[in-house]
Chain A
Amino acid sequence: MNGTPGLLRAAAAVWWRDFVAWRKFWRSSILLNFGEPLTNLLALGVGLGAYVAVMQGVSFLQFIAPGLLAVTAMNAVTFDAGFDTYDKLNSSGVYAAMLTSPLTVPEIVLGEYLWEATRAILYGAVFFLVILAFGLVHSWWSLLVPLPLILFGVLFTAPALYVAAVARTHEQLFYYFSLVITPMFMFSGVFFPVAHLPWIVQDIIYILPLYHGVLLTRAMVLGQMTVGMIWQFVWLIAYAAILAYLPVRALARRLTT
Chain B
Amino acid sequence: MVATDFHLTAGAGGQVEDVIVARSLEKTYGDVRAVRGIDFTIRRGECFAFLGPNGAGKSSTIRMLSCLSPISGGDLIVLGRKADIGERRIKERLGIVSQDDNVDPDLSLMENLLVYARYFGMPRAEAEQHAEQLLTFMQLEGRSKAAVRELSGGMRRRLVIARALMHRPDILVLDEPTTGLDPQARLLVWGAVQQLKAQGVTIVLTTHYMDEAERLADRLVVMDHGRILQEDAPRPLIERTVGREAVEIWQRDGGDDQAFIAAAEDALLLSDRHGETLVLYAADPGRIGQNFASHGLAPERMLVRPTNLEDVFLTLTGRDLRE
Chain A interface (Cβ within 8 Å of chain B)?
Answer: 1-5, 9-10, 13, 16-17, 20-21, 24, 92-94, 96-105, 256-257
Contacts and interface: CB of A to CB of B under 8 A. Distances in A.
A102 B86 CA distance: 7
B222 to A, nearest CB: 25
Contact of A102 (B70, B111, B119): B119
A17 B104 contact: yes
B115 A103 contact: no
Interface of B is mostly: loop
A2 B104 contact: no
A94 B120 contact: no
A92 B92 contact: no
Contact of A20 (B105, B115, B164): B115
A13 B86 contact: no
Given A99-B68, A105-B86, 18 more contacts: A2-B120, A4-B89, A4-B120, A5-B118, A13-B121, A17-B115, A21-B107, A92-B104, A94-B104, A97-B102, A100-B91, A100-B98, A100-B164, A101-B91, A102-B92, A102-B119, A102-B120, A104-B88
B122 to A, nearest CB: 6
Contacts, number: 88
Nearest to A92: B105
Interface string B83-97: 001101101101010
Contacts of A13: 115, 118-119, 121
B292 interface: no
B167 interface: yes
Contacts of B164: 100
Contacts of B317: none
B100 interface: yes
Contact of B119 (A3, A10, A93): A10
B86 A104 contact: yes
Contact of A97 (B66, B85, B91, B103): B103
Interface residues of B, number: 35
A2 B85 contact: no
Nearest to B147: A24
22 contacts: A1-B126, A2-B92, A2-B122, A2-B168, A4-B92, A5-B118, A16-B118, A17-B115, A20-B107, A21-B106, A93-B100, A93-B102, A96-B100, A99-B68, A100-B164, A102-B91, A103-B119, A104-B88, A105-B86, A256-B69, A256-B70, A256-B85
Given A96-B102, A102-B119, A20 B88 contact: no
A104 B121 CA distance: 14
Interface of B: 29, 66, 68-70, 85-86, 88-89, 91-92, 94, 96, 98, 100-107, 111, 115-116, 118-122, 126, 163-164, 167-168
B106 A2 contact: no
Given A2-B122, A257-B69, A97 B88 contact: no
B103 A20 contact: no
Contacts of A100: 66, 68, 91, 94, 96, 98, 164
A100 to B, nearest CB: 4
Contacts of A99: 68
